[in-house]
Amino acid sequence: MTRRLHFNLFIHDTGHHEASWRLPDAHPLAHLDIDYVERLARIAESAKFDSLFLADSPVLWGDPGRRPSGSLEPTVLLTALARATSRIGLIATASTSYNDPFNLARRFASLDHVSGGRAGWNIVTTAGDDAARNFGLDAQPAHADRYERAAEFVEVSKKLWDSWDDDAVVADKDRGVHAEADRVHVINHEGTYFRVRGPLNVPRSPQGYPLLVQAGSSEDGRDFAARYAEAVFTAQPTLAEGQVFYADVKRRAAEAGRDPDTVKILPGIVPVLGETEAQARELEAELDRLIVPKYAVEQLSKQLGVPAERLALDDQLPADLPSEDDIEGMKSRYTLIVELARRERLTVRQLIGRLGGGRGHRTFAGTPVQVADTIQQWFEQGAADGFNIMPAVLPSGLESFVERVLPVLRARGLFRTEYEGSTLREHYGLARPASQYALVTAQ
Residues in binding site for FMN: 56, 93, 143, 147, 217-218
Q: Count of residues for the chain? A: 443
Measured CA to CA, the distance from residue 372 to residue 414 in angstroms comes to 10
Pairing of strands 89-95, 51-54: parallel
* Contact between 192 and 148 (Cβ < 8 Å): yes
Measured CA to CA, the distance from residue 388 to residue 426 in angstroms comes to 18
Residue 317's nearest CA partner among 327, 325, 302, 306 is 306
Q: State phi, psi for 163 to the nearest 5 degrees.
A: -70, -15
Pairing of strands 6-11, 386-389: parallel
Cβ neighbours of residue 247 under 8 Å, at least 6 residues apart? 382
List C-alpha distances in Å: 381 to 129, 210, 230, 375.
39, 29, 21, 10
* Contact between 94 and 76 (Cβ < 8 Å): no
What is the residue type of 344? E
For residue 64, with 0-12 CB atoms within 10 Å meaning exposed, 13-18 middle and 19 or more buried, which class applies?
Answer: exposed
Integer Rg of the chain from CA:
22
Cβ neighbours of residue 173 under 8 Å, at least 6 residues apart? none
Q: How many Cα atoms are found within 13 Å in the side-chain-facing hemisphere of 113?
A: 12
Q: Given its phi and psi angles, is residue 48 left (phi above 0), alpha (psi -120 to 50 degrees) or beta?
A: left
**Helix then strand then coil, % of the chain, to nearest 5:** 45, 15, 40
Q: Which residues is 54 bridged to in the sheet?
A: 11, 92
Biggest CA pair distance of the chain: 79
